[in-house]
Amino acid sequence: MAVGVYSLTALTLPVIPGVAGPHGRATAPAAAAPLRARIEQMDAMVRRFSDAAKAHGGGAVHHGLAGYLHRPVAGWLHTPAPEPVHHQLLAGAARLTLLLGTMTADDGHDALAQHYHLTATRMAADAEDTALFAIALRTMATHASDLGHHTRGVLHLSEHAADTARRSSRSVRAYTQAHLATAAAHHDRHTALTALGAAERLHEQADSLPGPFTAYPLAALHYQRAQTLGALGDRTGAVGAYTAALRLRTPAERHANALTRAALAESLLAQGHLDVALAHWSCFLDDCPHLHSARVGRSLEAMRQLLTPHKRYPSAALVLDRASLLR
């Protein structure tokens, strides 16, 4: 699977059935206490692996998460359990698999990441968890957008995520509306701004517990706002939104900090602010050695290409020299 090819045509969508659960699963009841302890453990592992990826990049930790899913989580899904408990086990496994897909994409294995995302989407459907299903659809759309795919199919996937989330928490609805705004910005300005406004209102009204699948950080919303405005040609607005996102990032979010700084520097350079862009790229280079991330690597390569025409400028030459040491 690691040598496969990412495919837009593979983004086929399961539906949430009336009766869930994988075929052939044993249905005899088991003691609920050990099963619920496993659910709690999976939730804790989602937080641990998510925090590790934020600090070190998906490439540093995705193999560990894959091993945890392979054993013991896969075995737990075949443990006889009451249907409601089995649904919770499935949802926990889906969250872990979705996180694994995002980490794998960050490591540059896009076909394998797509496989994980689709698997997580099907598990969310089997678990009859509409909020998680919407999050999974949004994650697939985000992956496609990150790869530069801005087709109508990706827009429809983003619309489907937002529509599926309409009865979910305000955080989940804001999360799906924010990416709908970014996807729509490549097709229809009014739709993009309407979705962005909805995301901002929903976020203001949200009251959710902190966690990778329960909260939508304000910094992430500002980042999505910057991407939307940038796609609409509003470079000044994009710079302001990236700056707001960066201001809200914590030191522990090194991965997000690096990507935000790189995007901000690109936007600043496009406006002709070379020195300010160089200052942000210098900070970006400080983070790079700590991160195992293909996305960060792509931002590094973009920086090199954008600064090459300015290589005779001493400050730009210094940044390029530092970048040459990062291979």
Q: Which residues of 71-103 are buried (b: 16+ CB within 10 A; e: fewer)?
A: eebeebbebebeeebbbbbbbbbbbbbbbbbbb
Instruction: Tell me the C-alpha distance between 22 and 73, whole Å.
Output: 15
Contact 26, 228 (CB under 8 A): no
pLDDT of residue 128: 95
CATH 1.25.40.10 fits 131-248, yes or no: yes
Domain boundaries, the chain: 33-128, 131-248, 261-327
Give Cβ neighbours of residue 191 (< 8 Å, ≥ 6 apart): 180, 184
Q: What is the pTM assigned to this prediction?
A: 0.90
Are 198 and 228 spatial neighbours (Cβ–Cβ below 8 Å)? Answer: no
Q: How many CA atoms lie within 13 A of 87 on its CB side?
A: 16
Given this model, what pLDDT does residue 23 score? 40
Residue 36 is predicted with a pLDDT of 86
Question: pLDDT value at position 73?
Answer: 95
- Residue 208 DSSP symbol: -
Res 32: pLDDT = 65
Q: Compute mean pLDDT per 10 residues along the chain, 327 residues long, and list them.
A: 60 54 45 82 96 96 96 91 93 98 96 96 96 97 96 96 96 97 98 98 89 94 98 97 97 97 98 98 97 97 97 97 90
Angle at 110 between CA 108 and CA 114, to 5 degrees: 145
